[in-house]
Amino acid sequence: MPPIAPLTCTGIVLAAGAGRRYGQPKVLAENGAWLRGAVAALRGGGCDPVVVLLGATGPDPAAVELPPGTAWRWVEDWASGLGATVRAGLRAAAGAGTEYVAFLPVDIPDIDARVVARVLGAARASESGLARAVFHNTPGHPAVIKNKHWEAISAVAVGDRGGGSYLGTRQDMVCVTCDDLATGTDRDFPEVGAQ
């Protein structure tokens, strides 16, 4: 018998936004440290490939210092809202031929590979193929989604709506408590006194 192919997962870094409240695109925050951390978390947690979705920084990837070996896609309609970026991420995962996709926004810098691995493991072990991290009883990221749900998510990911409206209706989504590993807090504003 031929070996069974491993269940693969594309890691998607949501990094297309302008970061208006932050004062710059968050993909550039802390000299790219958040981006490097998000890519490392997805890779270390079991995602391959990892794709960074860019938007506000423009279509030239040289505007962002991508970690070596990281793929990228420019989301031309990024300004229309999160939905466009989520749909672009699903297209990237479909193009990679993977069975799962893991979404991680660039602005949650304390998420590491342990969180990603825990949520990915829960999605793979579930019948639904749906799992997301939960911090202090609040749904967060990463969210891991099996390919059988991608079309339905693409249909509802419009304007500022991402996949959350779909995931929130699913009784079969596995909520994975990750309070012991991270805060899961997104950063909308620069820290006071930060350079």
Q: Could you tell me if residue 156 is inside a domain?
A: yes
Contact of 158 with 115, CB cutoff 8 Å: no
Of the pLDDT bands very low, low, confident and very high (cuts 50, 70, 90), residue 192 is low
Contact of 54 with 27, CB cutoff 8 Å: yes
Q: What is this structure's pTM?
A: 0.93
Q: Could you tell me if residue 1 is inside a domain?
A: no
- pLDDT over threshold 50, residue 195: no
Q: Could you tell me if residue 166 is inside a domain?
A: yes
Most confident of 7-11, 58-62, 90-94: 90-94
Q: Could you tell me if residue 152 is inside a domain?
A: yes
Helices (H), 7-127: 29-44, 82-96, 113-125
Mean pLDDT in residue range 13-28: 94
Report pLDDT for 189.
Answer: 86
Q: Could you tell me if residue 182 is inside a domain?
A: no
- pLDDT over threshold 60, residue 180: yes
Find the range with the poorest average confidence among 37-46, 59-68, 132-141.
59-68
Q: Could you tell me if residue 115 is inside a domain?
A: yes
Report pLDDT for 35.
Answer: 97
Range of the domain at 26: 9-177
Mean pLDDT in residue range 155-167: 92
Q: Could you tell me if residue 58 is inside a domain?
A: yes
Mean pLDDT in residue range 166-176: 94
Q: Could you tell me if residue 185 is inside a domain?
A: no
Q: What is the CATH number of the domain that holds 107?
A: 3.90.550.10
Mean pLDDT in residue range 38-55: 97
Contact of 35 with 70, CB cutoff 8 Å: no
Cα–Cα nearest to 72, from 31, 113, 106: 106
Mean pLDDT in residue range 130-154: 97
3-class DSSP assignment, residue 178:
coil
Cα–Cα nearest to 27, from 10, 13, 40: 13
Q: Which residues pair with 12 in a beta bridge?
A: 51, 103
- pLDDT over threshold 90, residue 4: no
Q: Return the percentage of the chain with pLDDT > 90, whole number.
A: 88
Domain count along the chain: 1
Mean pLDDT in residue range 89-114: 97
Report pLDDT for 191.
Answer: 74
Mean pLDDT in residue range 12-30: 94
